[in-house]
Amino acid sequence: MKQPVRLLSGVLLALLFSLETSASERWVVLGGDIAETLSALKADINLVARDDTVLYPETLTALPSVGYLRQLSAESVLSVQPDRILANQHAGPKEVLEQLDAVGVTLDVVSAPAT
């Protein structure tokens, strides 16, 4: 079970190092796996909202929820005024992610193996 965590951490590390970000940038995280990895990497300072699958660490459950990972609405996500969305590959529906991308929010989809 350690391999997927390392792979996801590696993917997120590469993504985080490639980001030109500032402390004022606002992130929404969609996916408990991504949120947990960001927290473990101490890279969760910019998070302003999460989806309902984010249950750990408990400190992140205090963030506003934008709905369930696979049943999102663009309005709910946009209501927290994000600059960037870090999304699990299962986030959707696809049309909502396309709407978010179309309005100019940076969307990073992180794919990880199921095992």
Residue 34 belongs to domain spanning: 2-110
The pLDDT tens digits of the residues spanning 25-46 come to 999 999 999 999 999 989 899 9
For residue 50, give the nearest of 12, 94, 4, 87 by alpha carbon: 87
Mean local confidence (pLDDT), 60-85: 97
pTM: 0.81
pLDDT at 114 over 50: yes
- 115 in a structural domain: no
In DSSP terms, 84 is beta-bridged to 27, 106
Question: Could you give the number of structural domains in the chain?
Answer: 1
Q: Is residue 78 part of a domain?
A: yes
Q: CATH number for the domain including 62?
A: 3.40.50.1980
In the chain, what percentage of residues exceed pLDDT 70? 78
Give pLDDT tens digits for 96-113. 999 999 999 999 999 877
Confidence category of residue 14, pLDDT binned at 50, 70, 90: low
CB of 92 closer than 8 Å to CB of 105 = no
Task: State the angle between helix axes of 32-40 and 2-18 in degrees (0 to 180), rounded to the nearest 10.
Answer: 70
Is residue 40 one of the residues assigned to a domain? yes
Q: What phi and psi values does residue 22 have, to the nearest 5 degrees?
A: -130, 165
